[in-house]
């Protein structure tokens, strides 16, 4: 059996939505110090709908594939749906990841949540703080990671 599914290989070799959105409405950046993967997600939002999404990922094939798939899963969707995207859904959409690469799908989920939170913060939009992981310096709730 192959280590990676055909979908993982396709999204690694032909990633969707790679790049930067100038003047993005929300940006989320996360990293994993153990493996060195870094993901940055850019969102363009209009009337609560993600109209465009781009990403930059420095990391392994699983990290790139997870970013690509996650971007496809949220593009054109309301923010409320993007916030419900889980690493499990990303992994399932890729037809699985090896157990030692599941952290890549977690990074994709976290980057999206950080980008949505950034959008809310930049626009003074109230939100349920429990929807977001503790941040490094949250001006709204005083949480510390």
Render each residue's pLDDT in the chain as its tens digit; 145 residues.
478 999 999 999 999 999 999 999 999 999 877 778 899 999 999 999 999 999 999 999 999 999 999 999 999 999 999 999 999 999 999 999 988 888 889 899 999 999 999 999 999 999 988 888 665 544 444 433 3
Confidence at residue 133, expressed as pLDDT on a 0 to 100 scale: 66
Structure token pair of residue 115:
């980008």
Confidence at residue 2, expressed as pLDDT on a 0 to 100 scale: 72
Confidence at residue 131, expressed as pLDDT on a 0 to 100 scale: 85
What pTM did the predictor assign?
0.88
Q: Are strands 49-58 and 26-31 parallel, antiparallel or unpaired?
A: unpaired
53/46 Cα distance (integer angstroms): 12
125/143 Cα distance (integer angstroms): 18
Does residue 35 have an active-site annotation?
yes
Does residue 138 have an active-site annotation?
no
Return left, alpha or beta for 144; rule: phi > 0 is left, psi -120 to 50 is alpha, else beta: beta
From 35, 60, 135, 141, active-site residue: 35
From 60, 104, 138, 141, active-site residue: 104
């Amino acid at each position: 059996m192959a280590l990676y599914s055909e979908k993982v290989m396709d999204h690694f070799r032909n990633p969707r939505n790679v790049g930067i959105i100038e003047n993005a409405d929300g940006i989320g950046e996360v990293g994993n110090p153990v493996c060195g993967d870094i993901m940055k997600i850019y969102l363009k939002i209009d009337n609560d709908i993600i109209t465009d999404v781009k990403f930059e990922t420095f990391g392994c094939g699983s990290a790139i594939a997870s970013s690509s798939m996650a971007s496809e899963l949220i593009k054109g969707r309301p923010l409320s749906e993007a916030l419900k995207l889980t690493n499990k859904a990303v992994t399932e959409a890729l037809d699985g990841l090896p157990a030692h690469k599941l952290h890549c799908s977690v990074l994709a989920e976290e980057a999206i949540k950080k980008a949505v939170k950034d959008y809310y913060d930049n626009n003074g939009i109230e939100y349920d703080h429990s929807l977001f992981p503790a941040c490094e310096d949250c001006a709204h709730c005083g949480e510390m990671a």
